[in-house]
Chain A
């Protein structure tokens, strides 16, 4: 085997190794979404608790946080306290709205979940799963932040806890409420 071939083989193997090594440090929860920067799909659905119709259009001009959850989802329970804390932190801001989207769930189970773990904001039932498909949802929990112009600015797959909570509140929601671009 000539030296040139040996050299190119070693370079190729090193490049492959570097590619795999880089992949080790990637965040598996960070799924690139094509929806960031696009207009949030509008939706209408019944409220889990009251059955009243809720529409995204009602909240035009506000920063809307959508949190997809289900009663059978373990990580939704993990984040639930922080989700309530997040709502508590911003609920008095006139331009902030938080909506839960109940995904692939039975109504009695969803109601029982909210009764058990508590709820301070409205939750829309995604009966046919079409709302989740419209938002390119893979699973629960998933959280989206829509700006005051109705554009999706942030998506997170997984529970909103710890550093994720801090990042979401300080670098995404607060700037958007001040009409400045988020820093993530």
Chain B
């Protein structure tokens, strides 16, 4: 009888929807602002990761610095300007569109255009009907070749 109660208790424990008791963390407006700014800044010790996604200690500290500055009343623009003044353009996930940076923005599309043009030219040449240049008739067969063909066709 006792075992039944233990088994019943165990089943209740297993079936109870424990995950529903997990707390839902509400994002505050400050959290959202931190996230939005952190997403635009590069983790300087990572590979192509922003400081929101990175778990590197420096990224964690940078997120804390953003939060602290927002709490002090700094605007997102002021915070961007601060990080830019410390790390230069490298800190930005999107390089600003000025000077040599234009190369980064324009070069991929320019290369795509140039590559596409050459591809188009090549493909056009492949699919061009060969009849456009009049074909020369094959040279007439000589007697020896004609006899050989006859021989091989009728006496394989």
A134 CA / B121 CA spacing, docked (Å): 54
The count of residues in chain B whose C-beta lies closer than 8 Å to any C-beta of chain A is 18
Question: Within 8 Å of chain A (Cβ to Cβ): is B65?
Answer: yes
Judge if B71 is at the interface, Cβ distance under 8 Å.
no
Closest to A12 in B: B114
Asked if A34 and B87 make an inter-chain contact with CB atoms under 8 angstroms apart, the answer reads: yes
Is there an interface contact between A128 and B88, defined as CB atoms closer than 8 Å?
no
Which of chain A's residues 110-165 have a Cβ closer than 8 Å to chain B? 128-130, 132-136, 138-139
B58 CB contacts on chain A under 8 angstroms: 104, 129, 132-133, 138-139
The answer to whether A32 has its CB under 8 Å from any CB of chain B is yes
Also in contact, A138 and B88, with CB within 8 A (given A1-B121, A130-B65, A132-B61): no
Contact A134 B45 (CB under 8 A): no
Does the CB pair A130–B61 fall under 8 Å? yes
Q: Which residues of A contact B84 (CB under 8 A)?
A: 34
The answer for the CA separation of A56 and B65 in the assembled complex, in Å, is 20
Residues of B contacting A135 in the complex (Cβ-Cβ under 8 angstroms): 86
Give how many A-B residue pairs fall within 8 Å (CB-CB): 48
- A130–B67 CA distance with the chains assembled, in angstroms: 12
Main secondary structure of the interface of B (DSSP, over half): helix
Residue of A nearest to B88 (CB): A34
Contacts of A104 in B (CB 8 A): 57-58, 61
Q: How large is the interface on A (under 10, 10 to 19, 20 to 34, 35 or more residues)?
A: 20 to 34
A133: B residues at CB distance < 8 A: 58, 61-62, 65, 83, 86
Chain B residue, CB-CB nearest to A34: B88
Name the CB-closest residue of A to B60. Answer: A129
Considering only residues 46-101 of chain B, those with a C-beta below 8 Å from chain A are 57-58, 61-62, 64-65, 68, 83-88
In the complex, whether A33 has a CB less than 8 A from a CB of chain B is yes
Are A1's CB and B118's CB within 8 A? Answer: yes
